[in-house]
Amino acid sequence: MSPLLEVRDIHTFIGQFHILEGVSLSVPQGSITALLGRNGAGKTTTLKSILGLTPPRSGEVWFAGERINGRRSFDIASLGIGFVPEHRAIFRDLSVAENLRIAERRKGDLARKEEFIFHLFPDLKRLINLSGTALSGGQQQMLAVARALVPDNKLLLIDEPSEGLAPVIIEQMMAAIRELAAQSTVLLVEQNFIVASQLAERYVIIDEGHTVQAGAMADLVQDKETIHRYLGAA
């Protein structure tokens, strides 16, 4: 079966800087793929390039059998790609309910998905009328993920969901991601290698803006040299 997402040798510039210099990856349907690499490797830029927020200058991006690079971000997202940006991107001056409502792509999305979202993140139901500023870091991150679940998405791009969270909250977040991956497909940027290795079946490593290695997570876990060389972890 062809992959749900395929990125072929993309090159992306930000201003005059050549940030991505040949990123390729493929994400099979119904799985979690971890996008790994040290700080500044180009992980976030890869997600933004897929979405057309930083459009690649060359190379191709294919999603669900269609070539999507060159289209507008809104049109790309409308094909069914949800994005959870890094640093808990929510509207902090809006309530939990408002944050969820404005994430609708079509009227009625939230009503359809509410039960599933509150099942994954019961805290959000309890906090529904609070403003974003009143939430803890973990609750803000849950809301950021929940917003991407409001519309029907075939693919979720999630950037560093565990960043800065306490271990017990990371556990909750991992359980939620595992459950939502059972009905969607996830490309997960994750600096915490323990988290990534426990969630993902496949991995892609990028370094200095290009793909260096990809394969089964079970193999990477055994490969201490690669982990050390590209991820700086033991």
Ligand X SMILES: Nc1ncnc2c1ncn2[C@@H]1O[C@H](COP(=O)(O)OP(=O)(O)OP(=O)(O)O)[C@@H](O)[C@H]1O
Interface residues with Mg ion (CB under 5 A) are 43-44
* CA angle, residues 84, 75, 114, in degrees to nearest 5: 45
- Taking the least distance from each CB to Mg ion, the nearer of 51 and 120 is 51
Minimum distance, C-beta of residue 11 to ligand X, in the bound complex (Å): 13
SS3 at position 126: helix
42 contacts ligand X (rule: CB under 6 A): yes
CA-CA distance, 219 to 224, in Å (whole number)? 10
What interhelical angle do 109-120 and 167-181 show, nearest 10? 130
Minimum distance, C-beta of residue 151 to ligand X, in the bound complex (Å): 24
List beta partners, residue 58: 11
Sites for ligand X among residues 10-39 (CB under 6 A): 14-15, 17, 19, 37, 39
- Taking the least distance from each CB to Mg ion, the nearer of 41 and 135 is 41
Contact, 205 vs 212, CB < 8 A?
yes
Task: Enumerate helices (H) and strands (E) in the chain, giving the number of each.
Answer: 10, 10
Q: Which of the choices Mg ion, ligand X, none does residue 134 contact, using the CB cut-off of 5 to 8 A by kind?
A: none
- Cα–Cα distance list, 105 to 74, 95, 99, 101 (Å): 10, 18, 13, 9
Residue 13 backbone phi and psi in degrees, to 5: -110, 140
- Taking the least distance from each CB to ligand X, the nearer of 14 and 175 is 14
Figure out which of the listed residues 2, 18, 40, 215 binds ligand X, where binding follows CB under 6 A. Answer: 40
- Taking the least distance from each CB to Mg ion, the nearer of 38 and 101 is 38
Figure out which of the listed residues 10, 32, 45, 100 binds ligand X, where binding follows CB under 6 A. Answer: 45
Q: Which of the choices Mg ion, ligand X, none does residue 14 contact, using the CB cut-off of 5 to 8 A by kind?
A: ligand X
- Taking the least distance from each CB to ligand X, the nearer of 37 and 80 is 37
- Token reading at 232: 């700086």
Residues lying near ligand X in the complex (CB under 6 A) are found at: 14-15, 17, 19, 37, 39-45, 191
